Amino acid sequence: MQKNNPTVTKAWCFYDWANSVYSLVIISTIFPIYYSAVAKHPETASTVVNFLGFNLQSSVLFSYAISGSFLIIAAMSPLLTSIADYSGRKKLFMQLFCYIGSLSCAGLFFFTRETFSVSMILFVFSSIGFSGSIVFYNSYLPEIATEDQFDRLSARGFAMGYIGSVLLLLFNLAMILQPGWFGIAETNTSLPPRIAFLTTGLWWFGFAQYTFYHLPANIYKRNPQGSWILNGFKELQQVLHQVKGLPLLKSFLLAYFFFNMGVQTVMYVATIFGIEVLQLPSHALIVTILIIQLVAIAGAYGFAFLSSRYGNIRALIVAVMVWICICVAAYFITSALEFYVLAAVVGSVMGGIQSLSRSTYSKLIPATTKDNASFFSFYDVTEKVSIVLGTLAYGAIAQVTGSMRYSILALIVFFALGLIFLSLIKGRKLLEAREEGQPALS
C-alpha cells in the first residue's frame, strides 16, 4: 500500500475525532460530576458507596474501576495483537473493541442510584473498549505514513480529537444548562447528563464508520493457516525476541512507563480532585476542561515543531519538566483562578507529550517489521500498567491519608523517574541508533 495517502491518513486521524469524546465527556467532565452526585447519599451526604457488597469511598471506587479496566486490557493486549498480526485481522479487532466501548458508553444512559453497580460495570466495559481499540489504531501509524510524517500526523490526530470532543461537549452542556431548549423539564436534572452519555456512545460508534471504511484491512496480505491462538503465541514470542535486541526501544518504554504514570493519572483524577479537594462548582470544572482541550490543540502541534528542531527526546524532556512544575503547583493551589491557570499549562503539554510519545515509539519500531500491532502491544501494556499503578497509588494514598493532596507528591516522583530515564536515552551515542537500524532521536 502506498504510504501518505491523504484519504487514508485523514480516516486514521478521524478515529481520534470519533473516540476522544469518550475521554472528555466520560472520563474528564460530565460523567465524574454526575457520578459524584449519584454516589452522594441524598439524606446523609455520605460519599461511601456500595459496589457488589463492598463499601468504598466513591472517589476510590472511581480510581479502582479505571485501574481494573486497564489491567484487563494489559493482560489481553499482547496475545490479541499477535493474533491480529498473524491473521491480518487488525481492523476487525479494532472494530470489536470500538463497538464494545461505544455501546457500553451508550448504556450509561440508564445510570441511576438504583442501577449503580450495573452502571459501574458498564463503565468498566466502556473503558476496556476505549483502551482496547487504541492499540490497534496506534499500530496503523507506521503502516500508513513515512517516518518524516509521524510527529505531524500523530499531532494532527490528537488535535482532531480535541476539536471533535469540544464540539460534542458544548452541545451536551447546552442541554444540561438549558434543558428547556430541548423539551426537557428543568426539574429532571438527571436526564440531560444521561443523554450526554448516550450521544457520546453514538458519536463514537457513528464517526468510527468513516475510519473503518477507508482504513485498509490485511495490509500485508496475510493468509493464516492453522490455529490463530497457537500461532498468535508464536508471533508474540518472535516479537518479544526482537524487542530484547532493541535497546533504545526498551529504554524509551522504561521512561514512558514512569512519566505516563503521572500524565494519565492527572488526566483521570483531575475532575475528582477539583470536586472533592477544591470544592469547585460544576461550571468551574467544565470551563477548566475546555481550557485544557483548546490549549492542547496548539500544544500538540507546538511539540511536533519542537521535535523537528531539537529531536523527539529533547522535546519530551521539556514536556516532563513542565509536568513536574504542574504537580508542585497543584499541591498548593486553593482557588478556582489558580486551577484555571494550571489547566492552561496542563493543556499546553498534554497533547504534546501524548502525540510525541506515540510518534517516537513508531520511529523505534524496525521499519521492516510486519508485526506493528504486536510491537505496539508493548507500548500499550506499558501505558496501561502505568495507569493501573498510577491510579491505584493515587487512590490508595488518598484513602490512607484522607487527602488527595498527598497523592500529588507521588506523581512528582513518577515524573522525576521518567525524566531521569529520558535523560539517559538522550545521552546514548547516535552511532548506537544507526547500528541498530533505528533513527537517531536525540
What per-residue confidence (pLDDT) applies to 214? Answer: 94
| Distance separating alpha carbons of residues 112 and 117, to the nearest angstrom | 10
What per-residue confidence (pLDDT) applies to 232? Answer: 67
| Distance separating alpha carbons of residues 340 and 336, to the nearest angstrom | 6
What per-residue confidence (pLDDT) applies to 286? Answer: 76
What per-residue confidence (pLDDT) applies to 438? Answer: 47
Give residues with Cβ within 8 angstroms of 389, minimum separation 6. 261
User: Which of 409, 88, 390, 102 lies closest to 262, judged by CA?
Assistant: 390
Give residues with Cβ within 8 angstroms of 337, minimum separation 6. none
- What are the structural domains, with CATH classification, of the chain? 6-214+227-435 (1.20.1250.20)
**Grid coordinates belonging to 85:** 498480526
**What is the residue-level pLDDT of the chain in tens, covering all 442 positions?**
678 899 999 999 999 999 999 988 888 778 888 888 888 777 776 777 777 777 777 877 887 887 788 888 888 888 888 888 888 888 999 999 999 999 999 999 999 888 988 999 999 999 999 989 998 999 999 889 988 888 899 999 989 998 999 999 999 989 998 898 999 988 888 899 999 999 999 999 999 999 999 998 877 676 766 666 766 677 777 777 777 788 888 889 999 999 998 888 877 677 667 766 777 776 777 777 788 888 888 888 888 888 888 888 889 999 999 999 988 888 888 887 888 888 888 888 888 898 899 888 888 888 777 777 788 888 888 888 887 788 778 777 877 877 777 777 778 889 999 999 998 885 444 334 434 444 445 5
Q: pTM, whole model, 2 decimals?
A: 0.83
